[in-house]
Amino acid sequence: MSELQNKADELGGKVKEAAGDAVGNDDLANQGKGEQAASKVKQGAEDLKGKATETLGKLTDK
């Protein structure tokens, strides 16, 4: 998943959270918070994968 897709998912979660808060729908607000958290976890995993690939590349170049 791309960083752009993760950001879009995070934004969608923020919209759901705000909409849920605006209408008093706790389930929708919580769903939005969950989507934001999932997006951040995915982005962290992508970052870790990139760093691991970079490190492995440096080790094999020596």
- By three-state DSSP, how is residue 47 classified? helix
Higher pLDDT pick, 57 / 24: 24
Q: Is 42 a residue whose pLDDT tops 70?
A: yes
pTM of the model: 0.79
- Tokens standing for 5? 């897709």
pLDDT band at 49 (very low <50, low <70, confident <90, very high): very high
24: Cβ–Cβ under 8 A, 6 or more apart, which residues?
none
Looking at the 3D structure of the chain, how many domains does it have? 1
Is 3 a residue whose pLDDT tops 90? no
Q: Cα 46–10–16 angle (5° rounding)?
A: 155
Longest Cα–Cα distance of the chain, Å, equals 59
Model pLDDT for residues 20-30, shown as the tens digit of each residue: 999 999 999 99
Mean pLDDT of the chain: 94
Q: Note down the domain range covering 37.
A: 3-61
